[in-house]
Chain A
Amino acid sequence: MSGVDPAERDEEESGSRRSRGRVIVLTMVPVIAFAILLASGLGRDPRELPSELISDRAPAFALPELGGQGDISGPTEGQVFVVNFWASWCLECHAEHDALVAAWERYRERGVVFVGVVFEDGEGTALQYASEKEGDWPLVMDPGSRTAIAYGVFGVPETFVIAPDGTIAAKTIGEVTYSWLTEEIDRALRTEVSA
């Protein structure tokens, strides 16, 4: 090999260094993108799920009263309904009961109907639970969980506020608070006025 011009060789080397640098950068792009993608998943609760049925028509139900004879049906046009799914084995249901009682007492005069639907529980244990709790709104069994499924229930407790026009105004998963109840029921009552 006859003498290579040193200037040429340097150029070649720096060229290969440049291409090496380019390869490194090219390799890093998908890696960093992947990392960012995974990072975006942080801070999200994987158990949080969106409420599908908001502003959809609330499924009608006619369910046997707990420990009683007849059926309770709903929702009724022109009235605000609060449908609460619960079970005796559900700890959060125990916790939220006071909030429900308070809201029920506040709004019973104004024609707001509270209905408690038993979810995945035996009639005996449900009655036992109910007898230990305050409040006197109708409680119903849900044979085959057909109503729960119709409402897209994932578990208990879940509470739905139904507006007078029959659409689902609000839904919450987990322990319901008095402030949430009052806020949503007030809003639902207001739609009655405008309608």
Chain B
Amino acid sequence: MRRTWLLVAGAAVVIVAAALLARGGGESATIEDRAQAISAGLRCPVCQNLSVADSPSRLAGEMRAEVEGQLRAGRTDDEVRAFFVARYGEWVLLEPRSLLPFVIPVAAVALGVGAWMLFVRRRPRAERTEVSDAERRRIDVDLRSLEEGA
């Protein structure tokens, strides 16, 4: 049994090691990568819900060019985003700046799990159907005495 667990643990270690020793991303991002990332976070003004990176519309293509142009001119990622927010509003950011839309579901789930655990604790524990060894011995003794005719 222990050997089995050791084998399983060994497998887990191998996986983690492989993952950690993997070719890490850490290379400095190119202008194209940065442009792609920024465009993926901007909302296309003429489409429904698509990002500037994804949208096939002409304006999105021009916005992509604008993003890349500004990056080449030396602007930082935040400056480029601010440029668009100043003109189109917060609406143009696909990921809201506020943490609320992330916090609310986490809180809801935590609340739910917490409430459940509270209720589970309050319920009387179900009768254990497992029989312990000591009980087992006692039953044997009782049964034997019964059989011997008490």
Contacts and interface: CB of A to CB of B under 8 A. Distances in A.
A82 to B, nearest CB: 19
A155 B89 CA distance: 15
Contacts, number: 41
B62 A149 contact: yes
A50 interface: yes
B58 interface: yes
Interface in B21-47: 45-46
B8 interface: no
Given A154-B45, A154-B46, A53 B86 contact: yes
8 pairs of A and B residues whose beta carbons are closest in the complex: A152-B87, A145-B62, A154-B45, A52-B89, A152-B88, A144-B62, A120-B58, A149-B66
Q: Interface size class for chain A?
A: 10 to 19
A148 B59 contact: yes
Interface residues of B, number: 13
B62 A146 contact: yes
Interface of A: 49-50, 52-53, 56, 120, 144-146, 148-155
B87 A52 contact: yes
A52 B88 contact: yes
A168 B85 CA distance: 16
